[in-house]
Structure 1
């Protein structure tokens, strides 16, 4: 496997038809498992980039018991600095995320290049769902520098393509700034975020991901972050590497 480079640290996004939203999830009865929305976290220092709007309005991530409320997980210390997941608020964050999506290195895998309306539609699908997916900014030392989607893989169309277990948690990511690519940032943050999942989701035994097999540096980043290569799987729009980080092995890999 080649060393991690800029493309590997840039994007491990969903296939074009695996958009996490209410209309594209498994038909399961979840009424008893959905909690009320929690209050949106306030802006983190340095989050100036974003569309103008009423920042006090809780239009950000729907935090529910399905993902054990990522908004409340707090910060993680890493070798790069203090890292935190902050739920997306479109009125604050749309311009920044759209700019990242229009980077050719990102667009090749996320396929969301174009006007802000394209990214807005994707975020709207995430945020108007029932809590099975949570879009977040990755904020490092107060500066937003990555975009993440945490999702319930066992309740997602992905579960049709591998032997899912209850509470499997999936993730997608992109590293936004060119200066943050090609120096192991992706590996460090993948380990940090998967640790956050395992620390705050006690019923989750595995964190999973499905990067495009063509993005071998991204696959290498997952391997370096403690994930194992489990299988090749055919998903709509891509052939993917199923990557799994297991709670039982988190201290060994």
Structure 2
């Protein structure tokens, strides 16, 4: 499959059913749009659209398949660009009324003044079922505060095992996923990455198998850290850590809130570096973090203050620069991304390339 996929080609993308895949084909003739959906089991569905007064009016099939097809159609129309497309659902009388009611209850659609339903991309992308394959993911774990080393914070949910996020990347023509790390099965890959000079320059964790096994076991056993491998079409290419900021070393350096989260990243494979890949994994990781707990309103980071390229990437991804501060091992820049900005500005999609 080509790295850049034309809109009229089939692409693998997650189905509405958790952990399954479908395929969609987008045909845009200018005045009309037709999106064919290949559903699991060999069934198909279709969403058509026509342009009216600057709006794209979509017509799904009047069935449960219509919801699955419509979800994939909205993803297809909003995943590749930050353009604020006005998507409207055609009048939902008769057999479509149940579908319209469901869309409103899920927050995907809002009533418009003309009686039709306006589909909200910023709300659609906050529905965890479309991207989080595990049952119960994306719900708020019951709150109970505890103390860890003198820091008061909510008890964190038990950590998952296996794949926690899936998303089709249209401009790369494949599926990006995050899965939890297996300290034994993933040790050789992790150790090779940590000993890569480009990774070690940032992480400073080069060492032996023994040291790296202990490192992974410690991270996997820590309730506030979720170690992940990033994969593209099943091939691992990077190591990510998602952490709760209040219990982390960053917590004392700003007014950390209960559900703030942060992250670290190491891209271990040279073939997966570069702008097209950053625009895939960086917003997808932020998307996963915001979906994982609906109470997370802020994501923080602490890049080394001299790491110009990383800070530039974070600028493009919507992070604000807050302040410089000092760790024992480095001077860092505190950066922060707001949930409101991420979804309102549609930062789940790449920005338009500049000339």
TM-score by structure 1 length? 0.71
Corresponding residue SS for 1:91: coil
Tell me if structure 1 keeps the 8 A contact 2:303–2:311. Answer: yes
Determine the C-alpha separation between the residues in 2 that align with 1:213 and 1:26: 28
Q: Choose between structure 1 and 2: higher strand proportion.
A: 2
* RMSD between aligned residues: 1.9
Aligned structure 1 segments of 4 or more residues deviating by more than 6 angstroms: none
Determine the C-alpha separation between the residues in 2 that align with 1:176 and 1:206: 27
1:98 to 177, 191, 195: 191
Superposition pairs of residues 73-152 of structure 1, within 5 angstroms: 73-78=164-169, 79-80=171-172, 81-129=174-222, 131-152=223-244
1:27 to 150, 163, 182: 150
After superposition, the Cα gap between the structure-2 partners of 1:249 and 1:89, relative to the gap in structure 1 and judged at 3 Å, is same
Q: Which residue of 1 aligns with 2:314?
A: 222
Determine the C-alpha separation between the residues in 2 that align with 1:212 and 1:186: 18
Determine the C-alpha separation between the residues in 2 that align with 1:248 and 1:34: 23
Structure of greater relative contact order (alpha carbons < 8 Å, 6+ residues apart): 1
Q: What is the deviation of 1:109?
A: 1.2
1:174 to 252, 262, 266: 266
After superposition, the Cα gap between the structure-2 partners of 1:163 and 1:34, relative to the gap in structure 1 and judged at 3 Å, is closer
Q: Which residue of 1 aligns with 2:18?
A: none
- 1:93-144 Cα distance to aligned partner (Å, 9 max, x none): 0100110111111101111112112222221221122x10010100112111
Tell me if structure 2 keeps the 8 A contact 1:187–1:222. Answer: no
Determine the C-alpha separation between the residues in 2 that align with 1:188 and 1:240: 25
Determine the C-alpha separation between the residues in 2 that align with 1:198 and 1:36: 17
TM-score by structure 2 length? 0.52
Q: What is the deviation of 1:160?
A: 0.6
- 1:41-97 Cα distance to aligned partner (Å, 9 max, x none): 2xxxxxxxxxxxxxxxxxxxxxxxxxxxxx5x4302233332111100011101001
Tell me if structure 1 keeps the 8 A contact 2:227–2:241. Answer: yes
- 1:189-236 Cα distance to aligned partner (Å, 9 max, x none): 111110111122101001111111121111111111221212112112
Corresponding residue SS for 1:74: strand
Corresponding residue SS for 2:332: strand
Superposition pairs of residues 190-229 of structure 1, within 5 angstroms: 190-229=282-321
After superposition, the Cα gap between the structure-2 partners of 1:214 and 1:26, relative to the gap in structure 1 and judged at 3 Å, is farther
After superposition, the Cα gap between the structure-2 partners of 1:213 and 1:191, relative to the gap in structure 1 and judged at 3 Å, is same
Determine the C-alpha separation between the residues in 2 that align with 1:37 and 1:165: 20
Superposition pairs of residues 237-252 of structure 1, within 5 angstroms: 237-250=329-342, 251-252=344-345
* Runs (5+) with no aligned partner, structure 1: 1-24, 42-70
Corresponding residue SS for 1:166: coil
